[in-house]
Amino acid sequence: MLWGGTSRDVIGGIVLARVRINVADLPGTLGRVASAIGSAGADIVKVNVLESEAGRAVDDVFVTVRDGAHLDRVADALRSIAGTTLLGTQYPAPPVAGHADLELLGQVLSNPERGLQTLVDGAPGALGADWAAIVVYDATGEFDGVITMSTHAPGPEAVTMRSALRLGAVRLTSPDTGEPYGGAALVPLGTQPVGLLLVRESGPDFHLSELYRLEQIGAIASHAVQATLLQAPPA
């Protein structure tokens, strides 16, 4: 089953959640994970292997749950598996269609004049975040403001970047709680001093394998939006 829509979708009272775990990379491990999730009354939608080396694996397991309390029970069941470490959860999680990122790139490339807004609007659902923003830096390399933001994002004044414009996981603080968001990533867009900021309000940070994918997406998208970037002032 593949889910469409946005990361805030709830269908029939069922919500998609991401659970990131570190497990022994051995035969039967996935079966034990599936059994634990099933015993907690949840269903697995998809499993993404992010890393596998030295006898360990890092997996993103997407599950359907009823609410946050149900997700807590799933997390407890996974913690009970010997040798398994829970690295974080994301609730709700974005849809998991296998080619959502490629579909987003297709939309950006097909209409370059609106490519920047198409990118920021589609990035959360396609790239595993809750919201996104296009941020700009000045000639000295300092953060200079926000060009545009996606739905569900806070106001531009809430985005204060202290990180240089380079690919990587970054720390961003929630204006509501004063605490860091669960995860955020900054992706440069071509040769202009502009980047795509992706934010997970809760959940695991962006893994190296995700950052690598984001780098490729940013490089391709930048070719379609260069003209817009040259003209777009900060919001």
- pLDDT tens per residue across all 235 residues of the chain: 233 333 444 445 789 999 999 999 999 999 999 999 999 999 999 999 999 998 999 999 999 999 999 999 999 999 999 999 999 999 988 765 668 888 999 999 888 888 889 999 999 999 999 999 999 999 999 999 999 999 889 889 889 888 999 999 999 998 888 899 999 999 999 888 999 999 999 889 999 999 999 999 999 998 877 766 655 555 5
CATH of 10-90, picked from 3.30.70.260, 3.30.160.160, 1.10.287.3510, 3.40.30.10, is: 3.30.70.260
SS3 string, the chain, reads: CCCCCCCCCEECCEEEEEEEEEEECCCCHHHHHHHHHHHCCCEEEEEEEEEEECCEEEEEEEEEECCHHHHHHHHHHHHCCCCCEEEEEECCCCCCCCCHHHHHHHHHHHCHHHHHHHHHHHHHHHHCCCEEEEEEECCCCCEEEEEEECCCCCCHHHCCCCCCCCCEECCCECCCCCCECCEEEEEECCCCCEEEEEEECCCCCCCHHHHHHHHHHHHHHHHHHHHHHHHCCCC
Report the alpha-carbon distance of residue 9 to residue 96 in Å, rounded. Answer: 12
Strand partners of residue 148: 134
Cβ-contact 92, 10 below 8 angstroms: yes
Tokens of 84: 């398994």
Supply the pLDDT for residue 95. 66
CA pair distance 20, 16, nearest whole angstrom: 13
The confidence score (pLDDT) of residue 1 equals 27
100-231 has which CATH code?
Answer: 3.30.450.40
Are 101 and 217 contacting, i.e. CB atoms less than 8 angstroms apart?
yes
Backbone phi and psi for residue 134, each to the nearest 5 degrees, phi listed first: -100, 120
The model carries a pTM of 0.84
For 10, other C-beta atoms within 10 Å of its C-beta total 12
Cα–Cα distance, 199 to 153 (Å, whole number): 9
The domain limits of the chain are: 10-90, 100-231
